[in-house]
Amino acid sequence: MYIYKAGVLGAGLMGSGIAQVITFSGLPVVLRDMNDALVQKGLGTIRRIYEGRVKKGKMSAEELEQKMALVTPSTSDADFADCDIVIEAIPEEMEIKRKAFAALDAACPEHAILATNTSSLSISAIAAATKRPEKVVGMHFFYPAPVMKLVEVIPGLQTSQETVDATVSFTESLRKLPVRVKECPGFLVNRLLMPYLNEAAFCLQEGAATARAIDDAVVAWGMPMGPFTLADELGVDICAHAGRVMHEGYGPRMAAARVIEKLFAARLFGKKSGAGFYVYDDRPDPMPATIAEVQKETGMKGTGFSVERLLYPMVNEAALCLEEGIAAPSDIDLAMMAGTGFPMAKEGLLRWADEVGLDRIFGALEKWTKELGPRFWPAPLLRRMVGAGMVGKTGRKGFFEYVQ
């Protein structure tokens, strides 16, 4: 199936970013939202992205206008009637998405693929709101869509192979890197990222280190930004919502650190609200009092901090993903580098783990399980690999094989 025209439902930052990516590839796109003011705001976002390219000398003003002409503003699903694919980018609430997909199902041609940009919700449950579940697929772009290369392609239980293949081809035509991921709460990257962000929050609330010290240590290790800078950029509310979806899906090991829930309850969502883990306006820093309150409630304080305490749980979750067939080792490494900025010098999460030694990681997880709780419980696959001597590079086999 070839895609000649696309649609995007939702003209917010993510939706307008996806629309810009589509026009940059040369395809026309319908950008639709609830009212004209929202659509015009989205058009403004697209124009600013292209103006940035003009200023850098990467395109001419004439080319900018040619790209903008590819966008059709809309406030009606009826304008999707000749689209070959429609990508939904609206709020992360299941009932809102199901209602939207039922409407898209009625408005779009029979052959059209209906894709959702959800970062954590069930593709299968969204597809069940339509009469074409075989044509519904997850197409998860990462923020900001014009910059980030990774796109997770997630089939639901009834998604056809034809739909998956067409979505992968379309993603490649947008100059993005598609990684096919088996459906699960959080999919791949967010599922691996949540234990990392959550453990950073546990370290903070337990007084192991300050937010700034943790962020600085992680950046010094090689990540492009620290976990708290990232959470404030993404939105603490978004992180809290994704965390709840994964807690529901995976149980106690994904239970959110209490400091995250307290920030959410206080509507301290990060940069967009003026304060989160850091303060961005002239208000007093609420974090010291919040940490003191959490420590009084939990009785946990004075634990130790290391960058490994944040990173090893990601390796453990990746091992669980391998057991469940969520993605292949090479795809996990590609997704982590393209989706989170995991340093290319370390060749990806699992290759880095092989370099560190899986026996070392396993030992640390067992130690922290005893000291800090069952969220560190080693994955069965990791336990079996260490028992078999498959400890990484030194054993010539770990997540990958090595020739010496």
How far apart are the C-alpha atoms of 397 and 69, rounded to whole Å? 53
Q: What are the Cα distances from residue 66, in Å, to 27, 42, 45, 71, 143? A: 11, 17, 16, 10, 25
Spatial contact of 31 and 42, defined as CB atoms under 8 Å apart: yes
Spatial contact of 307 and 276, defined as CB atoms under 8 Å apart: no
Is the sign of the CA dihedral 375, 379, 383, 385 positive or negative? Answer: negative
Spatial contact of 77 and 107, defined as CB atoms under 8 Å apart: yes
Nearest to 163 by CA among 1, 331, 325: 1
Nearest to 196 by CA among 163, 228, 168: 228
In a 10 Å sphere around its CB, with 0-12 CB exposed, 13-18 middle and 19+ buried, how is residue 109 labelled? exposed
How far apart are the C-alpha atoms of 268 and 314, rounded to whole Å? 26
Q: What single DSSP character describes residue 98?
A: H
Q: What are the Cα distances from residue 50, in Å, to 54, 55, 114? A: 6, 9, 27
Residues in the chain: 404
Q: What single DSSP character describes residue 403?
A: -
Strand 85-88 and strand 71-74: pairing? unpaired
Amino acid in the structure at residue 143: Y
Spatial contact of 76 and 36, defined as CB atoms under 8 Å apart: no
How far apart are the C-alpha atoms of 82 and 112, rounded to whole Å? 9
Q: Please give the positions annotated as active site.
A: 140
Nearest to 372 by CA among 126, 198, 130: 198
Q: Which tokens belong to 358?
A: 């899986």
How far apart are the C-alpha atoms of 105 and 350, rounded to whole Å? 40
Please list, residue by residue across 175-195, b when 16 or more beta carbons sit within 10 angstroms of its beta carbon and e when fewer do.
ebbbbbbebbbbbbbbbbbbb
Tokens 């395809």 -> residue: 27
